[in-house]
Amino acid sequence: MKVYFAGSIRGGREDVDLYMQIITHLRKYGTVLTEHVGDKSLEDKGEKGLSDKQIHDRDMEWLLSANLMVAEVTRPSLGVGYEIGRALEHKKRILCLYRPSVTPRLSAMIAGAPNITVKPYETIDDAVKIIDEYLK
């Protein structure tokens, strides 16, 4: 299985450690195409000098090849919202995870979208259980 993990980059990196923990769990199910989203030093590395267009086109190619999208949507990110919309358009399975203690009111365009599974959680243990249940 190929998993596309989406999490905020320019939207704010406060949750990067959590992203990596989720990615580590997702690896048990297959290849995570976007491990860099959980990489703390991504901003310093500057994604190996790729232009915004190169990043967009490469990520879209990965997204189209994925069987599943898992998005951590606690931190509002334009890029993550865009990726979710594109994944919906291509009828991908989409699981969105968010922490109500940080974001009590998730965007209606995510919370109210058809064909997206949206699950609140608080700890990494909760997230692991939700992912296992979803993929059972």
- Please give the structure tokens belonging to residue 9: 């980059």
- Positions 80 through 109 that interact with ligand 6IA (CB under 6 A): 80, 83
Pick 56 or 125: Cβ nearer ligand 6IA: 56
CB of 101 vs ligand 6IA, minimal distance in Å: 21
Do 6 and 69 meet the contact criterion of CB atoms below 8 Å apart?
Answer: yes
Contact call for residues 10 and 47 (beta carbons, < 8 A): no
Q: 14 with 120: CB under 8 angstroms? A: no
Q: Is the Cβ of residue 51 or residue 133 nearer to ligand 6IA in the bound state?
A: 51
**How many helices (H) and strands (E) are present in the chain, helices listed first?**
6, 5
Q: Output the smallest distance, CB 28 to ligand 6IA, in A.
A: 20
Interaction site with ligand 6IA (CB under 6 A) = 6-11, 34, 36-37, 42-43, 46-47, 55, 59, 77-80, 83
